Amino acid sequence: MLDHRLSRRWRGAVWYRLMQPALGLLWTMAAGRLSYRDTWMYVTDGGHYDNLGLVEALHRGADRIVVLDASGDKADTWFTLGGAIALARADEGVDIELDPTAMTAGGHGLASGQVVQPWAYGKFSRRDEGHGPRQGDIWVCKLGWWAGAPWDVLAYARNHPTYPADSTLEQLYNATEFEAYQQLGAAAALDAVQQGTPPLTWAQPEPSMSGSGS
């Protein structure tokens, strides 16, 4: 009886493995034949189209966009951002004026992964009317350590030359590495808020008075 139960479990496990998403499901997705009724669903983070979400934000009609670039590009390269800007022009009819080299401008002898400032500011304009705001602002924050970063981030960077552009193939971060990336991202966004030109601020919405009885 025990052998019979183990045999059934083994056959069930093999059948389950054979039903796992494989090349067949990939072809189904590519052919546009996916259905919500299927056993499996293909989910992606969008990196195969626009890894930054910039084009989608423009498509939804945003007029103030903050782009957090945590791609694998090195601190002094902007291939992912350049691709998103090209897609915005081609797919949304939006022209973006933004110079990311402002992050390294004036820096001489920068070390690997180092920038002068971890953000850049730009504007966008839309050619067609009616699809969204005609003009807007864009702030881009990119992972790169700078002189004003937290001291523990600087200490980590000086001992890890590939930081902060480690390959995405590295999935097993230890606590120290995870904290170095998390703290750098938070510090970069805070620096854009405090030092950005123009400042990265927004008006806090007024509290709703509905249901207050007044």
Q: What is the pLDDT of residues 46-92, one digit of tens each?
A: 667 888 989 999 998 998 999 999 888 888 899 999 999 999 999 99
Could you tell me if residue 65 is inside a domain?
Answer: yes
- Token pair recorded at residue 180: 């170095």
**Predicted local confidence at residue 19, as pLDDT:** 60
Global pTM exceeds 0.85: no
Per the prediction, the chain carries an average pLDDT of 82
Average pLDDT over residues 107-136: 88
How sure is the predictor about 42, in pLDDT bands with cuts at 50, 70 and 90? low
**Predicted local confidence at residue 54, as pLDDT:** 92
How far is residue 146's CA from residue 104's CA, in Å, rounded to a whole number? 10
Could you tell me if residue 95 is inside a domain?
Answer: yes
Give all strands (DSSP E) within 41-168, no chain letters: 64-69, 94-98, 119-126, 135-142
Could you tell me if residue 12 is inside a domain?
Answer: no
Could you tell me if residue 164 is inside a domain?
Answer: yes
Listed in sequence order, the DSSP H helices in 22-174 are 23-30, 54-59, 79-92, 151-159
Phi/psi class of residue 193: alpha, beta or left (left: φ > 0; alpha: ψ in -120 to 50)?
A: alpha
Could you tell me if residue 15 is inside a domain?
Answer: no
Average pLDDT over residues 107-111: 88
How sure is the predictor about 207, in pLDDT bands with cuts at 50, 70 and 90? low
Could you tell me if residue 87 is inside a domain?
Answer: yes
Rounded to the nearest 5 degrees, what angle is found at the Cα of 40, between the Cα atoms of 37 and 42? Answer: 105
Average pLDDT over residues 2-24: 60
| DSSP letter assigned to residue 208 | P
Look at 5-9, 49-53, 104-108, 177-181 and tell me which has the smallest mean pLDDT.
5-9
Could you tell me if residue 29 is inside a domain?
Answer: no
Average pLDDT over residues 186-198: 87
**Number of structural domains, the chain?**
1
| Residue 145 structural domain | 54-193
Could you tell me if residue 123 is inside a domain?
Answer: yes
C-beta of residue 150 within 8 angstroms of C-beta of residue 183: yes
Query: Residue 21: is the preceding peptide bond cis (ω within 30°)?
Result: no
Q: Report the helix count and the strand count for the chain, using DSSP H and E.
A: 6, 4
**Predicted local confidence at residue 139, as pLDDT:** 93
Look at 27-41, 79-93, 126-140 and tell me which has the smallest mean pLDDT.
27-41
Q: Strand, helix or coil at 136?
A: strand
